[in-house]
Amino acid sequence: MKIVVLDAYTLNPGDLSWDRLGELGELEIHDRTLPEEMAERCKGADAIITNKALVTRETIENLRELRYIGVTATGVNIVNCEAASERGIPVTNVPGYGPKSVAQMAFAHILNLTQRTAHHANEVSAGRWASCPDFCFTDFPLVELDGLTLGILGYGTIGKETAGIGRAFGMKVIAHSRSLKENIEGEVEAVSMDTLFGQSDVLSLHCPLTPETDRVVNSENLAQMKSSAFLINTGRGQLVDEEALANALNAGHLAGAGLDVLSTEPPSPHNPLPQAKNCFVSPHIAWATYAARKRLLAATAKNLRSFIDGKTANVVNGV
């Protein structure tokens, strides 16, 4: 079996081993693959492994030996699953490899917004503490999380992990989700979308991107939020109307935002959010802890092993 990994670097920049995949066949690894390189690199492949490299209908139809497509992520929108199904090619993903890591990043942004840790550390490096007449200084009001309301949009595995951390800080947790029909005593209060936006002191997005949630953070919903509230997005960039959020931040209608995702990645130079007031953007790295990447690579190999053994594991297109 010839196995081609199309964009290996983000998953494994050199600190993990490809041995488990290598045991399954002839392994060819590429750090990155441009669209114009796809056809040549995939020629003769029985299995291709991708993260963000697009696997189009044309690619699938032209690769006559292709029998398997593995995605090193949960979302599979980069693969034309319909074309794969028509040829009887299973498409697999890896769910559940990083909930703790993503929830951890959500709170990294929350704590940065409430404590302004990065800002104050930078100011100490710049000499401001050494020249301060007092034993401490603060440039922003510091916010205690205990007693505040944490709103969760989307109460799946990552949403639940984030909620658990919030409760550990003494926060009240409310959530809106298709799967959350009623309150869970001692855990979460189920609320309407309007209540979620209106009552949250911190609103964290963990819902899938669907036609209903596309740009759910828009001018209308932002107008319902407290001016003291913070917005966190470690989900999908398209959940946010970026122009509307930038306007709300710059006008002081929202206290701050912590984002790990944007609608286009890497972002356009014209994206208003990296330069917006009190907006902090990390480069889509919530998933990328060593522990999460190790689980992801192991699960990717396990998915392919199951296919070789004639079994079904994490197939998303029903083949």
CA distances, 242 to each of 31, 194, 277 (Å): 30, 20, 13
CA distances, 163 to each of 99, 100, 115, 188 (Å): 12, 11, 20, 8
The helix (run of H) or strand (run of E) holding residue 20 is helix 19-22
Select from 233, 254, 247 the least CA-distant residue to 275: 247
* φ/ψ bin of 44: left (φ > 0), alpha (ψ from -120 to 50), beta (otherwise): left
DSSP 206: -
Buried b (16+ CB within 10 A) or exposed e, 226-243: beebbbbbbbbbbbbbbe
Q: Which residues are catalytic?
A: 236, 265, 284
Q: How far is residue 276's CA from residue 256's CA, in Å, rounded to a whole number?
A: 9
